[in-house]
């Protein structure tokens, strides 16, 4: 058991070195690798004690990462966190913090401005539809997307 625990720990460290993971995600990867439930439970407890798996920290980090760069809206972030096994209460708390930490409207404006170049040759209605679809697929709220689109197209007349 000790040898299997050490192998599982080395594998878990490799996974966590690549990126943070939720507890459920890590347990699933260990199970898929063939480790038994007893080893997985013991390792999960050790990793929690070492503060290497913490769903609250993971959720905050994930929300921050996904709201920057190749930005995603809060609905997509919520879906991703839930699919990674993060508790619903932790997800709601994280999204509440994220709403305060960044402006979804500002992110939508930045993405829209970048996307304007891609639809430059299209007529206004077609360009607006494409940008709307693009932003909705990224998980931004309809209300925010329409508000920013209306402002942008009203200002560009």
**For 50-64, what is each residue's pLDDT tens digit?**
999 999 999 999 999
Closest CA to 91 of 24, 19, 17: 24
Task: Read off the pLDDT band of 70 (50, 70, 90).
Answer: confident
- Alpha-carbon torsion 72, 32, 58, 93, what sign? positive
Average confidence (pLDDT) over 67-78:
85
Residue 139, pLDDT > 60, answer yes
DSSP state at residue 119: T
What's the per-residue H, E or C state across 22-90? CHHHHHHHHHHCCCCHHHHHHHHHHHHHCCCCCHHHHHHHHHHHHHCCCCCCHHHHHHHHHHCCCCHHH
Task: Read off the pLDDT band of 156 (50, 70, 90).
Answer: low
What mean pLDDT value characterizes the chain?
A: 90
What confidence tens digit (pLDDT) does each residue in 76-107 have? 999 999 999 999 999 999 999 988 888 888 88
Predicted local confidence at residue 155, as pLDDT: 58
């Amino acid at each position: 058991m000790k040898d299997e625990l050490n192998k599982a720990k080395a594998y878990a460290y490799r996974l966590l070195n690549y990126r943070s993971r939720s507890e459920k995600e890590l347990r699933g990867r260990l199970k898929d690798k063939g480790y038994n439930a007893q080893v997985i439970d013991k390792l999960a407890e050790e990793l929690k004690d070492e503060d290497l798996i913490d769903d609250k920290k993971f959720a905050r980090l994930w929300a921050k990462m996904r709201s920057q760069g190749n930005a995603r809206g809060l609905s997509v972030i919520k879906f991703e966190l839930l699919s990674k096994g993060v508790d619903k209460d932790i997800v709601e708390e994280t999204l509440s913090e994220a709403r305060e930490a960044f402006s979804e409207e500002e992110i939508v404006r930045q993405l829209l401005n970048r996307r304007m170049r891609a639809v430059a040759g299209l007529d206004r209605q077609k360009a607006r539809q494409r940008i709307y679809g693009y932003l909705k697929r990224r998980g931004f709220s309809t209300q925010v997307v329409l508000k920013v689109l209306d402002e942008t197209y009203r200002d560009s007349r």
